Amino acid sequence: MTPVTSRSLSTAMKTLRLVSPRCRSGFGIAGVYSFISRSSSHSCSSRSSVTSVSALPLIRSLERPIPLIRSYAPCLFFTTTSSQMSQGDSSYPVKKSDDEWQAILTPQQFRVLRGKGTERPYTGEYEDHHANGVYHCAGCDAPLYKSSTKFDSGCGWPAFFDAIPGAIKRFEDRSVGMVRTEMVCATCGGHLGHIFKGEGFKTPTDERHCVNSISLKFKDTDN
């Protein structure tokens, strides 16, 4: 993951000022993040170079407008270690040590599920996935979300408006200087993502469960 410095963030914010207010609201923090990731190897001294570097996330954002930019900022840059998992592994039916988890998870899965990391937007396997079936926990295989609750939020991560009853647990998360709602697998405590409310999506719950693709494993019910 590209480190976020004051210089790179300043350059990214200048990019937002080059586009119209309508585009700016859709470009959002996810677009800024994509721009930062690309800007380290590009010169951003001119308007033309900035525009070309940021074209892809800008186009994506215009196709999928983001209602509230501030809701997406906390998803991106913050990671804790598995030893800091406040919910405590002992409270879950499936209990494993870090060594045991590392033996069955990929390094990327371990970083997100056990270390509360976040995958980059628009890179996950299930962000643009529309098959019928059930999304299971990639750590313990517990069913978490039905495909019928998945919707296109434009945020760069899989979004669901509700989980299977009893499948997840919610915790207050103050790790980034603001209050968020973290969700974890109720069976193994694996980190899934965060829940946001009141964003204006036309869903039955008015919630967006922003889930990392790498925390999930899809099982098709059509076959």
> Which among 35, 66, 97 is the end of a domain?
66
On whether both 135 and 32 belong to a single domain, the answer is: no
Within-domain flag for 84: yes
| Tokens representing residue 53 in the block | 């570097």
On whether both 10 and 102 belong to a single domain, the answer is: no
Residue 165 has pLDDT above 50, yes or no: yes
On whether both 50 and 111 belong to a single domain, the answer is: no
Output the domain CATH number for residue 158: 2.170.150.20
On whether both 95 and 199 belong to a single domain, the answer is: yes
Within-domain flag for 155: yes
Which of these ranges, 20-29, 136-145, 157-166, 192-201, has the smallest mean pLDDT?
Answer: 20-29
On whether both 163 and 120 belong to a single domain, the answer is: yes
Within-domain flag for 72: no
On whether both 37 and 88 belong to a single domain, the answer is: no
* Total structural domains within the chain: 2
pLDDT for the residue 221:
82
Within-domain flag for 31: yes
Catalytic annotation present for 185: no
pLDDT for the residue 34:
42
Residue 143 has pLDDT above 90, yes or no: yes
Within-domain flag for 11: yes
| Tokens representing residue 73 in the block | 């900022």
On whether both 197 and 101 belong to a single domain, the answer is: yes
On whether both 133 and 36 belong to a single domain, the answer is: no
On whether both 36 and 100 belong to a single domain, the answer is: no
On whether both 107 and 207 belong to a single domain, the answer is: yes
pLDDT digits (tens, 9 = 90+) for 170-217: 999 998 788 999 999 999 999 999 999 999 999 999 999 999 999 999
On whether both 29 and 128 belong to a single domain, the answer is: no
What does the pLDDT average to over 71-79?
44
Residue 139 to residue 121: CA distance in whole angstroms: 21
Within-domain flag for 91: yes
- Within 10 A of 10 (CB to CB), how many other CB atoms are there? 9
Within-domain flag for 96: yes
Within-domain flag for 74: no
Residue 40 burial (CB < 10 Å; 0-12/13-18/19+)? exposed
Q: Which of 28-32, 59-63, 73-77, 120-124 has the highest mean pLDDT?
A: 120-124
96, 113 Cβ separation under 8 angstroms: no
pLDDT for the residue 89:
58
| Continuous segment of H or E residues that includes residue 115 | none
Which of these ranges, 19-23, 150-154, 166-170, 202-206, has the smallest mean pLDDT?
Answer: 19-23
Range of the domain at 110: 80-220
pLDDT for the residue 88:
52
* Single pTM value for the model: 0.65
Round to the nearest angstrom and report the end-to-end CA distance of the chain: 37
**Listed residue (192, 190, 188) closest to 180, CA to CA:** 192
On whether both 124 and 215 belong to a single domain, the answer is: yes
